[in-house]
Structure 1
Amino acid sequence: MVRIDAKGLHYKKLNDLIWEAVENGEEEIVLDNVCGQRYIGAGIRKKVKIEINGVPGNDLGVFMDGPEIIVNGNAQDGVGNTMNAGKIVVHGHAGDIIGYAMRGGHIYIKRNAGYRVGIHMKAYKENYPVVVIGGFARDFLGEYMAGGLLIVLGLEKDEDGNIAGNYVGTGMHGGEIFLRGTVEEHKLGKEVKIFQPTEEDINRIKPYVEEFCRLFDYDSEEILNEEFIILKPYTHRPYGRLYAY
């Protein structure tokens, strides 16, 4: 295990030190005093665990392909941007565009997330991205989503008592959004509809909810016993007629 003090380090210098440790065969890296440094874990393809004490900056885990990143605090925007594989665990809040164009791997956020979570998420064959949010998500959840799975557990609610903001699923043409609770239909993008989950549906999300509860010390049985809804797109080409006739 190697420990790096990030206090006052430029993000490029910090990332150079991380890559040096990875190339030297380190399997566990602890970063202390992180404060806004960007691109931590960017493009790393080896099985390494990175633990962050502090608040990482934008694009945490961008293009990541295999590592596990644990954030003991909050994270800024773009967590898991175009991520291929691995796991990111945030023991706090996360900012906007979480999982942007994410292609695989899992992201677990204990508390709340910002705007445009899951925008352009996609899945292909064995690549299946999953984002689980413990609290609520802001506007444009699942915007232009093309595949994968978003789960919002609603353990916290926003100032109006909602677990999702406006324009949920706008432009969505693949994947699924599970909400533990309800959302008013006027908050939905016109491309999605509400469905009631079957027992099979709940069994599909159960492993991810159980992992969330294991990570953050919640009771999975209690959470899964509450009512969920599923949001799904009703067309795979929501804007087809705008561009082709």
Structure 2
Amino acid sequence: MPFKADEAVRINAIENDTPLSYKKLNQLIHDEIEKGNKRIILDNVAGQRFIGAALHGDIKIYINGVPGNDLGIFMDGPKIYVNGNSEDQVGNTMNSGKIVINGNTGDVTGLSARGGEIFIKGSVGYRVGIHVKEYKGKMPKLVIGGVCKEYFGEYMAGGMLIVLGLKISDNTIEEIDDQKYGNCLGSGIHGGSIFIRTEDVPEHMLGIGAKVIDLTEKDNKRIQPYIEEFCTYFGVKEEIIWKKSFKKIVPASKRPYGSNYCIDLV
């Protein structure tokens, strides 16, 4: 089901059959916010970059179309809902807020995120969750309904990544029987946790510095609120998720490349 706003200002991202430049579209968004409008619908979005860049506060943006790279970059507080797919680097260096994608995203989603939440109905590309980090009460969370590709959670320093391995459409929910993740899973991880809804993660699929363990009851309780929220957004019955167990990928040490550092420089 598409995300809808009851009362909002509408901006058309196409003019005379030509997509607006990303600069013009973003300026129109800022103009409306300066007028006090905090609920905005963007129609016919066609690859414009930097939507929601550095916005903060109680703002909601509903996007009909496909936003370009760096959706929600540096965002601190707003909520963005996308009826469609999104391109690369969603939530780049995001500080807080929420991004919900009713489709797939490209590569490097969540790059260096410091907080906030990203929910993706479908699948994601390469190097998703790279360099995510957490500090005190701030912790980024990514929940992915489909599958992820290689180098998922690379160099993680904190945060929580969850992969469900489902193919979700409006009327059906199917298990994805193929592999739910790519090679080099958690390569260089030294903080945070990756949760994969699967019965096994072979050691040869792990990246340097990563290890796989079983979940505890505490882990299940920890991820449950985010799975529940994901199910609310995309019309999934939560009991379907829990029919399969999860595996948890965590750091094997705090210095995964410690043996490669130079000791004697003379």
The answer (yes or no) to whether the contact 1:136–1:158 under 8 Å persists in 2 is: no
Q: Identify which of 2, 12, 27 aligns with 1:5.
A: 12
What is aligned with 1:146?
A: 157
TM-score by length of 1: 0.97
CA distance in 2, matches of 1:94, 1:184: 26
Secondary structure in 1 aligned to 2:45?
strand
Q: State the one-letter code of the partner of 1:163.
A: K
Q: Which residue of 2 aligns with 1:91?
A: 102
Q: 1:68 corresponds to which letter in structure 2?
A: K
Instruction: Please give the alpha-carbon distance, in whole angstroms, between the structure 2 residues aligned to 1:224 and 1:63.
Output: 34
What's 2:119 paired with? 108
Q: 1:180 aligns with which of 184, 194, 197?
A: 197
Instruction: Tell me what 1:56 maps to.
Output: 67
Contact 2:165 2:176 in 1 (8 A): no
2:5 aligned partner: none
Of the candidates 33, 41, 51, which is equivalent to residue 30 of structure 1?
Answer: 41
CA RMSD in angstroms comes to: 1.5
Alpha carbons 1:162, 1:183 under 8 Å: kept: no
Q: CA deviation at 1:20?
A: 1.1
By how many angstroms is 1:25 displaced?
1.4
How big is each residue's C-alpha offset from its partner over 1:59-97, in whole Å with a ceiling of 9 and x where there is no partner? 000000000000000000000000000000000010000
Gaps of 5+ in 2: 1-7, 168-173
After superposing on structure 2, the runs of 4+ consecutive aligned residues of structure 1 that deviate more than 3 Å are 156-160
Unaligned runs of 5+ in 1: none
Identity, in percent, stands at: 55
Indicate how the Cα distance of structure 1 residues 225 and 203 shifts in structure 2: closer, same or farther if over 3 A, else same: farther
The partner residue of 1:210 within 219, 223, 228 is 228
Q: 1:27 Cα shift?
A: 1.6
Which deviates the most, 160-169 or 12-21? Answer: 160-169
Corresponding letter in the other structure for 1:135: G
Alpha-carbon displacement from aligned partner over 1:129-172 (angstroms, at most 9, x marks no partner): 00000000000000001000000001149998110011101111
1:24, distance to aligned residue in structure 2 (A)? 1.6
Distance 2:20 2:132 in 1: 32
Deviation at 1:240, TM superposition (A): 2.5
CA distance in 2, matches of 1:83, 1:26: 22
TM-score by length of 2: 0.89
- Equivalent of 1:155, from 166, 170, 177? 166
Amino acid at match of 1:34: V
Alpha carbons of 1:160 and 1:208: their partners in 2 closer, same or farther (altered >3 Å)?
closer
1:242 counterpart residue number: 260
Distance verdict in 2 for CA 1:209–1:159, change over 3 Å: closer
What SS is found at the alignment partner of 2:166? coil
Aligned with residue 164 of structure 1, among 181, 192, 205: 181
Match of 2:76 in 1: 65
8 Å CA contact retained: 2:209, 2:257 = no
Alpha-carbon shift at residue 58 of structure 1 (Å): 0.1
